Structure 1
Amino acid sequence: MSIAPFNASTYLGDRNTANLVGLKSRLDTLTNQLSSGKVGTTYGSLGTGRTTSLSAHAALSALDGYDAVITNATTRVTLANASVTQINTLGDGMRRSLTASNSSTIANTPQAARNSLDAAVDALNVDLAGQYIFGGRATDSPPVAATDTMLNGDVAKGLAGLKTLISEQKTADLGLPTGSGRVSSSVTGTPANTVTISEDGTGAAGTETRANFGFRLLSATSSNTTAIAASATTAATAPPVTFTLAKPPAEGDRLRIAINQPDGTQSFVDLTAKASSSAGATDTMPVFATAAEAQTYLNTRFAPSPVASIQGPTDLGVQANFGTGTPASLTLGVNGTPVAGDTVTVSVAMRDGTTQTLTLTASPNADPTSTTEFSLAGGPQAVANSLSQAVTNALKGTASTSLAASSASRAAQDFFAGSQSAGLAPRRISTDGNGYAEAASTKTVIWYTGDDTSSDPRATATAQIGANRVLNIGVQANEAPIRKVLAGLAMIAADAGTTAVSGTPEAQRFSALADHAGTLLVSNNTTGGVPGIASDLGLAASTLSDTKMENRTNRNALQGSLDGVENISAEDVTAQLLQLQTQLQASYQVTSMLSKLNLVNYLS
């Protein structure tokens, strides 16, 4: 770099020129600012405000991203909430229809239930831009099977539907061909004047059957204990169930164990084999190197529990081993002469937690086929025979109505508890009819093909709505409250209906079916059931809306900060521009005057 020599004669001119160039540059800058409204076109032109501008732009860009996520999530939540609300409406509508049904309308009730089930399936198969909302993490295909496939199966693929499962469950519960609900009545003793009522089944097979099917014998009472003495019930006994496996469950394998509850219902414990399983985990089990180790673990874990069944993938060879127990029983001793109007009451329980009371009344000449009366004709032995027959008739009558309805309800709930995960298919009756098959069926329709691995359906879809805020907005069609409504609709839709007049056994059967379906369809509370899912979605929608409002407020604040750094005040710039123009004009005039100055002009 060279330094020009100093020339005193040109100093004033050079300085003047530099001042004019500086003023002109300043004039151009102010002119550009006034036309664009901005301080400058580069961050460098912002001076110390460049840091504020950079951070504000980054924050605004992030808010744009969050708002885009919120918009998409709001649409998704709105669609999901609409579908859930429709499910609740369909269930409630069918429940009210069942309550109001009479002999002239019940013939059409199955078709109405079918229509409602169709609408429910459509609601659960809703999609947003090709992504199916109710499949959890699996969003690429409709998660719920078609109604016809669910009810009737897929003949081409050899898959059984709900109607087949209901038929099998009825056969198992009623104990066909006898049909007395696997409880029998007989006359015993010498002389033969004692009626013995006992649950059916002997040996290990009988223990397994009693753990799963038919009535449970509770108690009996007599209004005239002198004539007919009812004994206390001898409770059933059952040794602990043990398990054997051909090989240990591998990582991800799933087992389903059914446990009998004190009220007679069954609950499922679903276990997933995981190497990371922790002690005390309720839904996982460790991965073991050998089948013996896995058996020991399962036997120890479930030793205190009244196991009803176990189910797993076919290749595990899992098996439940029942020991020899004893059935519950009681006696009715005809020790005197009953009088007309005396009653005997027998109580039995069903596998859904409900009980039935069979009341038999002494009558001078009762019909041998009566389900409510026994005959007083003859001596104690004849009365005992008539009472025993009446008990059998009552058991068969109740089995064909209330127990059959309970069977349909159980089969429907088992069907909708099924999953595509190996080991969690709907339970099927074993080939020997004594219990449920241990190997998960591969010949049953799987109604739900979405994701079933998450313990929290909401966590299957998330929305990043802030730097440190993630909102769970997932839903699954197989959530328990939705399954209950679907089971209630499906068990009615699977029925043939009836045109029988009120009071007939067939009308009583359908009435019991409607009662059981109504129990599943009840979902009118705000703390659980389908409304609980709607409440979760409503809360998510509210959070999205509030967050969007917060983002708008933050955006305005950031924009204000940005405007203070990047934007100019038109009034200030205009004033500066006018002042600069005046300065520049004056400088030009002085320069012009100086350029014309010579000694003659100076002396003059």
Structure 2
Amino acid sequence: MIVNKSMYPLTTGFSIISKMQDKFAQLQMQLGTGVKAQTLSEMGRDLPVSLSVRSRLTTMAGYNASIEQVDLRMSFYDNALTRLDAIEGEARNSAVQGQYGSNNINMATISGLSKARLDEMVTLLNSDIAGRYLFGGSTTDKAPLPTTTELLEGAGGRAGYKTVVTERQMADLGSAGLGRLGTSINPAAPALQTDPVKVSLAEDGNHPFGYKLSTVSAIGANIGIASDFAASPANVDFTFPGDPGTVAAGDSVTLGFTLPDGTETQITLKAVSAANATGATGEFVIGNDPATATITTATNFDNALKAALKKTAEGELKAASTYAAGQNFFNAAGEPVLRVEGADPYTSTSLRVATKTDTVMWYSGETAAVSAIGMGRLTAARATETVTLTENIPVSSAHGFQISAVTSNVNNAGALTATHTPGDPAAMSVAFDDTFALIAGDSVTVTLTEPGGKMRQVTLTAVTGRAGPGQFTIGADEAASAENFEKAMIRSVSEAATAAEGNPRQSVTAAVEDSGRVAYGMQANESGYLRMIRSMAAMTVETYPEITNASDPNSADLNPAKARFDAMARRQQLELSEGRNSERGSIELITMELGVARAALQAAGERHTNYTAQLENLLSDVETVSKEDVAMEILALQTRLTASYQMTSMVSKLSLVNYL
């Protein structure tokens, strides 16, 4: 009789042994590799955790790569800004008023040194890392500046800075060299010796060139002065009394002028007797003959005035013109490049917007179309009860705000009248009228359009108390209301221009963590770089050939050249002054902003390092094994497997015969 083997689950035993063999093989693999599984399917319930952690580690690696790349660029920025700050200091100290050097060596070398600094600046601003240009904002595929030679000399029929300077100096000095001023004597031949004689000084038209009369004063009561600086053109009359009220020795007249670059200068004319005359510029001789004393004195005054104007024109005015040309050619953000209008610069009465076909554009990187400085190329004015806002001329559709509309919302019709005047330039006006009461809540809305088409509305609301943002206080009369409205309008339009301009740093950003970005954009037309480029270029093109062959370095003939050098040096020191360090866009402020950005970058990097270590520990717990634990499992499994083999072998041999 044979015992049925099904009494022992042999098949199940073989299955268990097979599973233990598979487990044994898996443990051997884990012992050899140190990881729990070779495929995702073997991960089991740890798979979601593994995938999630690995995804996060990949993201961290991406952020770290971005941080390394941005940190490299910021290192370059740091080096470049350090060098630019050094160049600024060198330039500021290279030309000092009154310090001409031995045999005027400083005057002879300043142009060449300035050109070398300008060339180094252009090289720094055109630098790239791996083909990515760093000083053009988000425009990174091309150099933001042309070469130094193109900037100064022009290229391909397009004018460079030197051409713009030449045109501007001709327009500012005028053909007579009097700074676009003219004089006249009336009457030219007085009938009686007691008749007064008038010398008139007037600008030759309403234009932005040359001297602009700003102030006049006198010492002594013998010269009558009547001025009208608000007239177009501005003028001033000097009346010399007839005998016996003649001019006395020591009487003087001082005239103040605004120059093309916005600076001020003065000339003083002093009456002297014939016996005490030295022939120096600024003196006019009093006539001796009673019969002709008045006309003689007036004529001498006229001649002295023209001589003083010419001398100052060769120094102060010419230097101011060179720097004004720098402002025209090296345009700031939100401003167009400007050129003198017309075929004859001597008689020009306006500037025009330059084009890419006739003028080298000095900067081709990303830039704002509206500038916070100058209210987005708008000018505010007030005449008693009427406030105006006008687009600057020449008008450029690609730069600054355009005044699109103006509307009012008033309770009493006529309390204020808002008017929009289209054209080139467009303008708007708001006139207040006390005949109708202005009520709190009345408002005026000005619509401004950016070159890109975006519209911004500036609304000003009348209030009875202290005015806040977007408000103006109702005054005691229409003039006071107009004054308050003008102040509020200037403030609000300036804020709109600031918002439209944006921040150059935001032109380039990098993601360094899930909710954090670092802004580190740089634009070569920011004010700090721009002031340096303008100054270097101006000092490069202004030369002093008079000293080249001068036998006497102290000759009076060199005084005009020295005066011009002093004027240029003073302007360079003003432009590059340490006092500008706090201005927006200065090299020092940019350095500080980048320092803050770099600190944020490094802080993010440290957070990623710590977080990555935590994630790797978690991943290790999920995906790797302890070889000691695996070895113990193998030994235990080996013991069980051996026992299973032995038991299975014994069971497979069971029979009644063997039993008996």
1:558 is the counterpart of 2:644: no
Deviations 1:195-228 (A, max 9, x none): 4343222xxxx22x2xx01111122222222x33
Q: Does structure 1 conserve the Cα–Cα contact (< 8 Å) formed by 2:315 and 2:561?
A: yes
Within-5 A mapping of 1:78-477: 78-99=75-96, 101-102=100-101, 103-154=104-155, 157-176=156-175, 178-188=176-186, 193-201=196-204, 206-207=205-206, 209=207, 212-225=208-221, 227-231=222-226, 233-237=227-231, 325-334=232-241, 336-365=245-274, 370-378=280-288, 379-417=293-331, 424-432=336-344, 433-438=347-352, 440-441=354-355, 442-452=357-367, 455=501, 456-477=503-524
Within-5 A mapping of 1:33-48: 33-48=30-45
Aligned to 1:18: 15
- Aligned partners of 1:200 and 1:180: how far apart in 2? 10
Which stretch shows the higher mean deviation, 338-347 or 212-221? Answer: 338-347
Deviations 1:151-177 (A, max 9, x none): 1222xx22222112111111111122x
Aligned to 2:637: 580
Q: How much does 1:473 deviate?
A: 2.5
Q: Does structure 1 conserve the Cα–Cα contact (< 8 Å) formed by 2:223 and 2:238?
A: no
Which stretch shows the higher mean deviation, 487-496 or 342-351? Answer: 342-351
- Alignment CA distance shift 1:107-1:150 (3 Å): same
Q: How much does 1:52 deviate?
A: 1.4
Aligned to 1:483: 530
Task: Give 2:158's aligned amino acid.
Answer: L
Q: Does structure 2 conserve the Cα–Cα contact (< 8 Å) formed by 1:183 and 1:197?
A: no
Task: Give 1:356's aligned amino acid.
Answer: T
Task: Give 2:570's aligned amino acid.
Answer: D
Aligned to 1:248: none
- Aligned partners of 2:261 and 2:353: how far apart in 1? 24
Task: Give 1:165's aligned amino acid.
Answer: V
- Aligned partners of 2:362 and 2:524: how far apart in 1? 10
Deviations 1:122-169 (A, max 9, x none): 111111112222233333332211112211222xx2222211211111
User: What SS does structure 2 have at the residue aligned with 1:356?
Assistant: strand
- Alignment CA distance shift 1:330-1:81 (3 Å): farther
- Alignment CA distance shift 1:497-1:549 (3 Å): farther
Q: How much does 1:121 deviate?
A: 1.0
Task: Give 1:447's aligned amino acid.
Answer: W
Deviations 1:542-599 (A, max 9, x none): 2222222221122112212212211222232222222222222233333344455555
Number of equivalences: 496
Q: How much does 1:120 deviate?
A: 0.7
- Alignment CA distance shift 1:382-1:83 (3 Å): same
Greater length-normalized contact order (CA 8 Å, ≥ 6 residues apart): 1
Q: Does structure 2 conserve the Cα–Cα contact (< 8 Å) formed by 1:221 and 1:345?
A: yes
Aligned to 2:469: none
Task: Give 1:385's aligned amino acid.
Answer: T
Q: Does structure 2 conserve the Cα–Cα contact (< 8 Å) formed by 1:215 and 1:350?
A: yes
- Aligned partners of 1:566 and 1:44: how far apart in 2? 13
Q: Does structure 1 conserve the Cα–Cα contact (< 8 Å) formed by 2:139 and 2:366?
A: yes
Q: How much does 1:352 deviate?
A: 2.4
- Aligned partners of 2:529 and 2:632: how far apart in 1? 71
Q: How much does 1:10 deviate?
A: 6.3
Which stretch shows the higher mean deviation, 164-173 or 216-225? Answer: 216-225
- Aligned partners of 2:351 and 2:593: how far apart in 1? 37
Q: Does structure 2 conserve the Cα–Cα contact (< 8 Å) formed by 1:153 and 1:162?
A: yes
- Aligned partners of 2:587 and 2:599: how far apart in 1? 18
Within-5 A mapping of 1:588-603: 588-596=645-653, 599=656, 602=659
- Aligned partners of 2:108 and 2:649: how far apart in 1? 111
Aligned to 1:311: none
Task: Give 1:81's aligned amino acid.
Answer: D
- Aligned partners of 1:221 and 1:334: how far apart in 2? 17
1:546 is the counterpart of 2:597: no
Q: How much does 1:418 deviate?
A: 7.6
Q: Does structure 1 conserve the Cα–Cα contact (< 8 Å) formed by 2:283 and 2:304?
A: yes
TM-score by length of 1: 0.75
TM-score by length of 2: 0.69
User: What SS does structure 2 have at the residue aligned with 1:427?
Assistant: strand
Q: How much does 1:426 deviate?
A: 3.5
RMSD over equivalenced CA pairs, Å: 2.8
- Aligned partners of 2:77 and 2:507: how far apart in 1? 13
What is the percent sequence identity of the aligned residues?
30
- Alignment CA distance shift 1:439-1:593 (3 Å): closer
Q: Does structure 2 conserve the Cα–Cα contact (< 8 Å) formed by 1:347 and 1:355?
A: yes
User: What SS does structure 2 have at the residue aligned with 1:170?
Assistant: helix
- Alignment CA distance shift 1:344-1:20 (3 Å): same
Q: Does structure 2 conserve the Cα–Cα contact (< 8 Å) formed by 1:85 and 1:531?
A: no
Q: How much does 1:183 deviate?
A: 2.5
- Aligned partners of 1:234 and 1:436: how far apart in 2? 22
Q: Does structure 1 conserve the Cα–Cα contact (< 8 Å) formed by 2:338 and 2:353?
A: no
Which stretch shows the higher mean deviation, 426-435 or 591-600? Answer: 591-600
Q: How much does 1:527 deviate?
A: 5.1
Q: Does structure 1 conserve the Cα–Cα contact (< 8 Å) formed by 2:363 and 2:525?
A: yes
1:505 is the counterpart of 2:593: no
User: What SS does structure 2 have at the residue aligned with 1:105?
Assistant: helix
Q: Does structure 2 conserve the Cα–Cα contact (< 8 Å) formed by 1:221 and 1:344?
A: yes
Stretches of 4+ moved more than 6 A in 1? none
Q: Does structure 1 conserve the Cα–Cα contact (< 8 Å) formed by 2:158 and 2:359?
A: yes
Task: Give 1:125's aligned amino acid.
Answer: N
- Aligned partners of 1:464 and 1:492: how far apart in 2? 42
Q: How much does 1:110 deviate?
A: 0.4
- Aligned partners of 2:197 and 2:7: how far apart in 1? 142
- Aligned partners of 1:23 and 1:508: how far apart in 2? 103
Q: Does structure 1 conserve the Cα–Cα contact (< 8 Å) formed by 2:219 and 2:252?
A: yes
Structure 1: state its 5+ residue gaps. Answer: 1-6, 238-324
- Alignment CA distance shift 1:127-1:192 (3 Å): farther
